[in-house]
């Protein structure tokens, strides 16, 4: 009988944390009420934010453990542009950069997420769950006003959902970073802050080298009235912080052309 190589304590702890996140997100996806889903999502996002800080600090001592790279993720209709923004704005909140491919006619073919491996892993894990939760609600949505297009309403709803999720993730990341530096104190706190700044600068430099010629994507023009309801659903998908009433957009993406 053969056995696998035992994981090191650090790798075992990392695997355990990610498994806990997956289980929490799975419970959120199966939740019977929005409030129940909100509770599981909040715990998952908090744990994921702390995991991101820990991975950054470990990589500062061993750069080979967490390297910059990219992953291209295909988008499918309907609402491929809205799904692309959900992925891109999730990536932006988790210290990654993103590029849209084949953005034309209100559709997007794919999104490339660019960043450190541990952050990209967080993005993919969270996006998969958020997309499932969002699409599960989308199919049941109908506009409250007579004569409004169902498709337009759903597009604006998904925009609101993505924008609110982005804001909540930013807040969770900021809290995790603040708690890490406050808990360390002195030189260690300064070191933690510098590690995060340096990682961001490394990603920006590598991103600029990998994508030297990008066109800035136009902000979407949405006619539907579903933004506020979508934002409320996004608030439930990630508990914490303040609500952003009326905010119609998140970080603008970049388009890599028809490829």
Each residue's pLDDT tens digit, 57-111: 888 888 888 999 999 999 999 999 999 999 999 999 999 999 999 998 889 999 9
Whether pTM exceeds 0.85: no
SS3 of the chain: the string is CCCCCCCCHHHHHHHHHHHHHHHHHHHHHCCCCHHHHHHHHHHHHHHHHHHHHHHHHHHHHCHHHCCEEEEEEECCCCCHHHHHHHHHHHHHHCCCEEEEECCECCECCEEEEEEEHHHHHHHHHHHHHHHHHHHHHHCCCCCCCCCCCHHHHHHHHHHHHHHHHHHHHHHHHHHHHHHHHHHHCHHHHHHHHHHHHHHHHHHHHHHHHHCCCCEECCCCCCCCCCHHHHHHHHHHHCCCCCCCCCCCCCCCCEECCCC
**pLDDT at site 78:** 93
CA 241 to chain centroid, in Å, comes to 16
Q: Return the higher-pLDDT residue of 235 and 89.
A: 89
Task: Count Cβ atoms below 10 Å from residue 256 Cβ, excluding itself.
Answer: 21
96: nearest Cα among 206, 235, 14: 206
pLDDT by residue (tens digit) across 133-190?
A: 899 888 888 888 788 888 888 998 999 999 999 999 999 999 998 888 776 555 656 6
Q: Are 72 and 112 in contact (CB under 8 A)?
A: yes
Q: Which of 3-17, 77-91, 175-189, 230-244 is predicted least confidently?
A: 230-244
Task: Count Cβ atoms below 10 Å from residue 190 Cβ, excluding itself.
Answer: 12
User: Mean pLDDT for the chain?
Assistant: 82
22 class by beta-carbon count within 10 Å (0-12 exposed, 13-18 middle, 19+ buried): middle
CB-based contacts of 238: which residues, under 8 Å, 6+ apart?
Answer: 41, 42, 45, 164, 165, 168, 169, 172
Q: Are 52 and 94 in contact (CB under 8 A)?
A: yes
**pLDDT at site 7:** 52
């Amino acid at each position: 009988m053969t056995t696998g190589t035992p994981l090191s304590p650090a790798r075992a702890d990392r695997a355990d944390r990610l498994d806990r996140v997956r289980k929490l997100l799975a419970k959120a996806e199966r939740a019977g009420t929005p409030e129940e889903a909100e509770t599981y999502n909040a715990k998952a996002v908090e744990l994921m934010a702390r995991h991101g800080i820990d991975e950054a600090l470990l990589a500062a001592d061993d750069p080979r453990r967490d390297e910059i790279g990219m992953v291209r993720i295909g988008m499918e209709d309907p609402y491929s542009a809205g799904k692309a923004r959900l992925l891109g704005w999730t990536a932006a909140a988790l210290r990654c950069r993103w590029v849209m491919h084949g953005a034309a006619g209100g559709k997007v073919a794919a999104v490339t997420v660019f960043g450190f491996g541990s952050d990209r892993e967080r993005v993919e894990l969270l996006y998969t769950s958020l997309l499932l939760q969002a699409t599960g609600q989308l199919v049941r949505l109908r506009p409250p006003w007579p004569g409004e297009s169902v498709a337009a309403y759903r597009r604006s709803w998904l925009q609101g959902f993505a924008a609110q999720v982005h804001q909540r993730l930013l807040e969770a990341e900021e809290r995790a970073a603040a708690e890490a530096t406050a808990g360390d104190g002195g030189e260690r706190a300064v070191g933690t802050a510098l590690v995060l700044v340096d990682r961001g600068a490394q990603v920006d430099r590598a991103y600029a080298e990998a994508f030297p010629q990008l066109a800035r994507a136009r902000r979407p023009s949405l006619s539907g009235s579903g933004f506020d309801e979508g934002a409320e659903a996004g608030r439930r998908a990630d508990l914490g912080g303040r609500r952003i009433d009326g905010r119609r957009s998140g970080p603008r993406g970049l388009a890599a052309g028809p490829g």
